[in-house]
């Protein structure tokens, strides 16, 4: 019901803000300073863990029966049928380097917490550095800092600014680079922002026309995916499948379909 959805959206936003404060204040001014502790990557891992622990504690304090699926702590079951799908820092490499594009992503879904089957109910993506806050609730629209959002109108691929991202594994990257050699000549330009959650929100608010990425995890796309669809966009996989780890494409419906068919022709959802 609408009151529950509004409550879930508000809780998602409140816990994302609390984690955002922690992550913002905890980032060392100079990574080298923190690196003397152990290694730069450890710093990030520790902040990821601290942020996720805070999110889990705040969510369960208000909704003790819900399950949680998070990047760091995995899945903890609950009895309510609702699962919070959380990314404590999306854009970890940007965080490590101080590039201002990393986010807290918090969503709540009904049913199995699998992008193929879930029904996303509410979500929030908080841009940690500048505080931009995208939220959505099912059937109630998407907002950026309280302002209603709509994706850009459909346009040909040749006029579309397209965001994408790459996995961490080298064979996967080689395959993604090959796909990119076919996509880049056909589009206005490519952006690699470094946070899939922010990519999706940028489609929702019209700062990108399209995004595609292979290999996203549920926590990278749960909140951003709902924000796109509530902003009137399409969120899809290839060959009629739903968006998920094989491929996620988002944008105005006919543009997303055009990109999805190009990617299907390249077999971009198969292999490494």
- When binding is defined by CB under 6 A, the residue of 113, 215, 237, 245 that contacts ligand IPD is 215
Shortest spacing between CB 97 and ligand IPD, in angstroms: 12
Q: Is 269 in the site for ligand IPD (CB under 6 A)?
A: no
Residue 29 assigned ligand-binding role? no
Question: What phi and psi values does residue 244 have, to the nearest 5 degrees?
Answer: 180, -160
Residue 87 assigned ligand-binding role? yes
The pair of structure tokens assigned to 154 is 């459909």
- When binding is defined by CB under 6 A, the residue of 87, 205, 230, 269 that contacts ligand IPD is 87
Give the separation between CA 227 and CA 205, rounded to whole angstroms.
Answer: 9
Closer to ligand IPD by Cβ: residue 59 or 198 = 198
Shortest spacing between CB 192 and ligand IPD, in angstroms: 8
Helix pair angle (218-230, 196-204), 10° resolution: 0
- Among this protein's residues, is 71 annotated catalytic? yes
Q: Is 83 in the site for ligand IPD (CB under 6 A)?
A: no
The pair of structure tokens assigned to 57 is 């504690």
Cα dihedral 264, 266, 94, 203 in deg (nearest 10)? -40
Shortest spacing between CB 26 and ligand IPD, in angstroms: 16
Task: Return the exposure string of 65-83: e unless at least 16 CB atoms fall within 10 Å of the residue's CB, then b.
Answer: ebbbbbbbbeeeebeeebb
Closer to ligand IPD by Cβ: residue 138 or 163 = 163
- CB-based contacts of 207, cutoff 8 Å, min separation 6: none
Give the separation between CA 240 and CA 180, rounded to whole angstroms.
Answer: 22
Closer to ligand IPD by Cβ: residue 42 or 153 = 42
In the shown chain, the binding pattern of residues 111 to 150 toward ligand IPD, with x for contact by CB under 6 A and - for none, equals ----------------------------------------
Q: Is 163 in the site for ligand IPD (CB under 6 A)?
A: no
Shortest spacing between CB 202 and ligand IPD, in angstroms: 12
- Among this protein's residues, is 87 annotated catalytic? yes
Q: Which of 75, 94, 95, 93 is nearest to 85 (CA)?
A: 75
Give the separation between CA 96 and CA 99, rounded to whole angstroms.
Answer: 8
Residues carrying an active site annotation? 71, 87, 89-90, 92, 220
Residues in binding site for Mg(2+): 71, 87, 89-90, 220
Which residues in this chain contact ligand IPD in the complex, by CB under 6 A?
A: 87, 90-92, 165-167, 194-196, 213, 215-216, 220
């Amino acid at each position: 019901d609408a009151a529950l959805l509004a409550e879930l959206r508000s809780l998602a936003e409140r816990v994302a803000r609390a984690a955002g404060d922690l992550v913002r204040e905890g980032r060392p001014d100079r990574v080298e300073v923190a690196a003397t502790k152990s290694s730069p990557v450890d710093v990030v891992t520790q902040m990821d863990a601290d942020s996720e622990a805070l999110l889990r504690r705040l969510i369960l304090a208000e909704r003790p029966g819900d399950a949680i699926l998070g990047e760091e702590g995995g899945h903890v079951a609950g009895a309510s049928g609702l699962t919070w799908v959380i990314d404590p820092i999306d854009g970890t490499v940007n965080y490590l380097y101080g590039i201002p594009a990393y986010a807290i992503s918090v969503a709540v879904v009904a049913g199995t917490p699998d992008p193929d089957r879930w029904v996303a109910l509410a979500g929030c993506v908080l841009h940690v550095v500048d505080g931009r806050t995208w939220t959505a609730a099912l059937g109630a629209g998407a907002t950026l800092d309280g302002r209603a959002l709509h994706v850009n109108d459909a346009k040909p691929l040749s006029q579309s600014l397209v965001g994408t991202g790459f996995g961490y594994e080298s064979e996967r990257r080689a395959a993604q680079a090959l796909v990119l050699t076919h996509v880049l000549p056909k589009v206005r330009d490519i952006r690699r922002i470094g946070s899939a959650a922010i990519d999706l929100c940028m489609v929702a608010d019209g700062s990108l026309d399209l995004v595609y990425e292979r290999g996203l995890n549920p926590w990278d796309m749960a909140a951003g995916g709902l924000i796109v669809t509530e902003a009137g966009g399409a969120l899809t996989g290839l060959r009629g499948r739903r968006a998920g780890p094989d491929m996620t494409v988002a944008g105005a419906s006919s543009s997303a379909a055009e990109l999805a068919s190009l990617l299907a022709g390249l077999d971009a959802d198969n292999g490494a």
